Amino acid sequence: MGIQTPVRMAALLLAVCAYASASADSSSSPAQWAQWVQRQVSQLPASRAIQAEQERLLAQSRALSQPLYNPSLNIDYEDSLDITQTVGLSQTLDWSGKARARRDAVAVRDQLAQLRGDKARARLLADSLNALVAHAAAREQLAAAREQEQQLRDLTDLIRRREQAGDVGQVDAQLAYLSLGQAQQALADAESAATRAATTLRQQLASQQPAVALPAADRWQAPSLTHGVVQRLPTSFDLQLAEQQLALAERGVSVADKQRNTDPTLGLRVGQEGGENLWGVDFSLPLKFFNTGKPGYEAALADSEERRALLEKTRNDIQARLDGALSDYQQRRERWETWQQLTGDSLARSDTLLKRVWQQGELTTQNYLQALNQRLDTRLAGIALRDAMQQAWVQWLYESAQLNDWLNQLANE
């Protein structure tokens, strides 16, 4: 085998170093994939649990919107010198408007219940998409490790035959055997990672294998969904929740203020006494000598101020998260696209080229094995770059509350 200069070796490796991942060439329809994801997630027990929790919160709101006071039925019988029998009906009157203030708070509670449900569904969808992305990457990494192991196995068999024929020295043979041994560890790690990814997918999506392959990497973007961070800020689930929690705290101040007022009770009774008809009117009003309700009102005010401060902090935090998520996605997308531009599609043909150059004596066995390892590293780097880019895209869409928008775009194509 000829001895290669460093310049010659570098040029050869650059010429063969490329790979286009299998999922990027998938012929599956993005619309079919998006529809399958939406259908699969909607059928999950976790989705039903989210819906049940939302209905529970709405039911609690309906309970709070009921009338504050129920009428009371009073029956009185007295047997003394004259027998007295009366039947009465009394009703506490909500003169201070407590029920109206509670209904205003209930409207905010309903919006909070809806927002919490929407956020939980978005989190479930994001986790499901991340599981799909990780599963696809793990399967490709496993395929690459198996291919590398098979190539080294074939190379070892060839070198063994050539060693017996005296065409290859013992050093070259030992290098091939050592490389094959190292490949076993890499293959075991890839198999373990693929098993973990499959387990996560089953836990997250109740599916052992995706029914439809991931869309091509160039579909994990949408210009309409990657601009206007400031415009996306009001749509953030966390910001909307903070705003509604402040609104609920302000309604709570109104309710607490109304609670400080006492409501009178008015009653009407009719009956007989000693054979004569009688009727009467009862009126009662609690006197606020001891419990004035002021501590509850002050607590409500403090809660409102706390929620106002938390809203300001939440807005700053979410602005930072949105900027960070979008920047992370754009950077990872740029790295992925640079990898594609540098590698092109030559890596798919590099195996045959490297083997031919080695057999022709233009590449030593040591350099050939090194080139195979660098080819594998480049292939795995591409898979990792695409995986990170896709997960960063999912995170940006989750933070900006656009996951459903993106899936609907794909599903409607």
Burial (CB < 10 A; 0-12, 13-18, 19+), residue 101, is buried
Q: How confident is the model over 211-220, as pLDDT tens digits?
A: 899 999 999 9
pLDDT digit string (tens) for 239-264?
A: 999 999 999 999 989 888 888 888 89
Determine the 3-state secondary structure of 56 from DSSP. Answer: helix
State residue 280 phi and psi, 5-degree precision.
Answer: -160, 160
Looking at residue 10, its amino acid is A
Question: Of 1-15, 106-120, 208-222, which range is least confident?
Answer: 1-15
Write out the E strands in 228-292.
Answer: 265-273, 276-284
Q: How many other C-beta atoms are found inside a 10 Å radius of the C-beta of residue 353?
A: 14
CA–chain centroid gap for 277, Å, is 72
Residue with tokens 């008809």: 277
* Distance, C-alpha 238 to centroid of its chain: 13
| CA dihedral for 243, 42, 36, 409, sign (positive or negative) | negative
Domains recognised in the chain with CATH numbers: 44-410 (1.20.1600.10)
Cβ contacts of residue 388 below 8 Å, gap of 6+? 332, 336
Q: What is the pLDDT of residues 379-401, one digit of tens each?
A: 899 999 999 999 999 999 999 99
Q: What is the DSSP letter of 209?
A: S
What sign for the dihedral angle of Cα 94, 99, 100, 102? Answer: positive
pLDDT, mean over the chain: 85
Residues whose CB falls within 8 Å of the CB of residue 150, separated by 6 or more in sequence, listed in order: none
At 127 the pLDDT is 96
Residue type at position 345: D
- Pairing mode of beta strands 265-273, 72-79: unpaired
Helix (H, G, I), strand (E, B) or coil at 91: strand
The three-state secondary structure class of 210 is coil
At 358 the pLDDT is 67
E strand segments, 1-80: 72-79
pLDDT of residue 3: 40
Nearest to 96 by CA among 333, 290, 262, 304: 262
How many whole angstroms separate alpha carbon 260 and alpha carbon 279?
33
Pairing of the two strands 265-273 and 83-92 = antiparallel
Residue type, 363: L
pLDDT grade, residue 290 (50/70/90)?
confident
Spatial separation of the C-alpha atoms in residues 82 and 109, rounded to whole Å: 56
Q: What is residue 15's predicted lDDT score, i.e. its pLDDT?
A: 40
8 A C-beta contact, residue 256 and residue 297:
yes
Q: In which residue are the tokens 């890839």 written?
A: 190
Percent of the chain with pLDDT over 70: 86
| Helix 347-359 and helix 365-399, axial crossing angle in degrees, nearest 10 | 170
The string of pLDDT tens digits covering residues 348-378 is: 666 667 767 766 666 677 777 888 888 888 8
Residue 12: its pLDDT value, please? 41
pLDDT (mean) for 142-157: 86
What digits encode the pLDDT tens for the residues 4-52?
A: 444 344 444 444 443 333 333 344 689 999 999 999 999 999 999 999 9
Written as six digits, the tokens of 279 are: 């009727």
Confidence of residue 320 (pLDDT cuts 50, 70, 90): very high
pLDDT value of residue 367:
78
Q: What is the pLDDT of residue 11?
A: 40
Q: Which amino acid is at 217?
A: A
Higher pLDDT, 167 or 272: 272
**In whole angstroms, what is the distance from residue 255 CA to residue 355 CA?**
81
* Single-letter amino acid code for the residue at 302: A
Which residues sit opposite 72 in a β-bridge? 90
For residue 278, give the DSSP letter: E
Tell me which residue of 16, 29, 100, 35 sits closest to 408, measured CA to CA.
35
Mean of pLDDT values over 49-67: 90
Tokens for 159, please give them. Answer: 């070198």
Closest CA to 311 of 229, 238, 401: 238
Task: Give the pLDDT confidence score for residue 121 in this predicted structure.
Answer: 96
pLDDT value, residue 203: 93
Any idea of the CA torsion for 323, 328, 331, 334, to the nearest 10 degrees?
Answer: -110
pLDDT band at 151 (very low <50, low <70, confident <90, very high): confident
Q: What is the dihedral of CA 182, 187, 188, 192, to 10 degrees?
A: 150
Residue 208: pLDDT band (50, 70, 90) is: confident
Residue 79 pLDDT > 90: no
